[in-house]
Homo-oligomer: A and B are copies of this chain.
Amino acid sequence: MASGISLKELAAELKLAPSTVSRALNDSYEISEATKKKVISMAEKLNYHANPFARSLRENKSKTIAVIIPERINSFFAQVMDGIEEVAQEHGYHLLIYNTHEDLEREMKIVNLLLNGRADAIAMSVTSQTKDSSHLQKLHNRGLPIIFFDRVSPEIPTTKFITNDYESTFEGTKHLIQQGCKKIAFLTLGKDLSISKERQRGFQDAITSEGWELQPSMIVQCCHEEETNVKLIEELLLSPNRPDGILSSVEKLAFATYHAVKRTDLRIPYDLKLISFSNASTASLLNPALTTITQPALTIGYECAKLLIKKLTKPNHYDLIDQVITIPSKITIRESTCQD
């Protein structure tokens, strides 16, 4: 790699000491304006760029935040990342991004990789398999600022950003009931996830608040294999005990439901009403348009990055205290839950 010139070379060119040049470039108060001008213009002329590794080594910080997500092709995570990036770029931070593909092994590997301090902080959403949190604990113990969004790890005492999972699911379920559903299934992923539990609790409470009995077969544990999910849901829909409403707690399971329905002669919303957590911009274009619980993804991203950067730039004034910050979701009613 033909890297650029160093501070020392730049200083030699200017007939100044490297320290002077360094200070000039960092706009130190001890350097005269005249010198600063000279230094800056020469730096530009010679195309000088400070070596980030030397700086990181010296200052023990990398101006880098690592973001770990379980899935990239997911409108929620993509929006969160856009939010994080927006704020990070503003503050001169770089983003190291890792996709665990919902694979715990991979998550552990990535987390271990970050143990070396490559990133100054971490924002993450765990995989749906993540139950044990010792790998995350290790990171946290090292003093590396870490926060969670959406898929949080409750055991780690830090700040977490989520949406009102319980309430949204409760309301979503109530909406299905209002629209005439008598038997509702709940599609979920990763039963150990705290948000899954909350969503399921919201669902169950909505059901029992009607005086209905909760049917275990209506809690459908899905996996990450699209085709497997489609089959699972298809079976559910073909069973004599089939639901007339589905609340999908994960976007991709809503899509799987559409596919499953296509394989039957059921029609949404006439034979089956569907509501799902989803941030897909195409929700309104689906056939039929999907009623969604939309999470404030961009805001969550902003807040994560803002908090992390505050913590990094003013470590003594801010702390990632052990709290859960809830930002509400919004339900948008569309055809998939229309009254017949």
Q: Spell out A's residues near B (CB within 8 Å).
A: 1-4, 47, 49-54, 56-57, 60-62, 64, 72-73, 75, 78-79, 81-82, 85, 89, 94-99, 106, 113, 115-118, 120, 142-145, 255, 258-259, 280-282, 284-289
Contact = CB atoms under 8 A, between A and B. Distances in A.
A54 B106 CA distance: 26
15 contacts: A1-B60, A1-B145, A47-B115, A51-B57, A51-B116, A52-B116, A52-B118, A53-B54, A57-B57, A72-B82, A72-B85, A85-B99, A89-B98, A95-B96, A285-B286
Contacts of A60: 1, 3
Given A50-B116, A286-B282, A72 B61 contact: no
A75 B282 CA distance: 12
A318 to B, nearest CB: 14
Given A1-B143, A72-B81, A96-B96, 17 more contacts: A1-B61, A1-B117, A1-B120, A1-B145, A2-B142, A3-B60, A3-B142, A47-B115, A52-B116, A52-B117, A52-B118, A53-B56, A72-B78, A89-B106, A95-B98, A282-B286, A287-B289
B287 A258 contact: no
A82 B77 CA distance: 14
Contacts of A284: 259
Contact of A73 (B52, B82, B94): B82
Contact of A258 (B82, B255, B285): B285
Nearest to A261: B285
Nearest to A61: B1
B73 A4 contact: no
Count of this chain's copies in the oligomeric assembly = 2
B61 A57 contact: no
Nearest to A99: B85
Contacts of A73: 75, 78-79, 82, 281
Nearest to A52: B118
Contacts of A4: 115-117, 142
A49 B115 contact: yes
Nearest to A64: B96
Contacts of A99: 82, 85
Nearest to A286: B285
Contacts of A94: 96, 113, 118
Contacts of A62: 53
Contacts of A287: 285-289
B85 A49 contact: no
Given A286-B286, A289-B287, A1 B144 contact: yes
Q: Which of A1, A78, A89, A143 has the most CB of B within 10 A?
A: A1
Contacts of A89: 98, 106
A108 to B, nearest CB: 13
A142 B46 CA distance: 12
Contacts of A120: 1
Nearest to A48: B116
A332 to B, nearest CB: 15
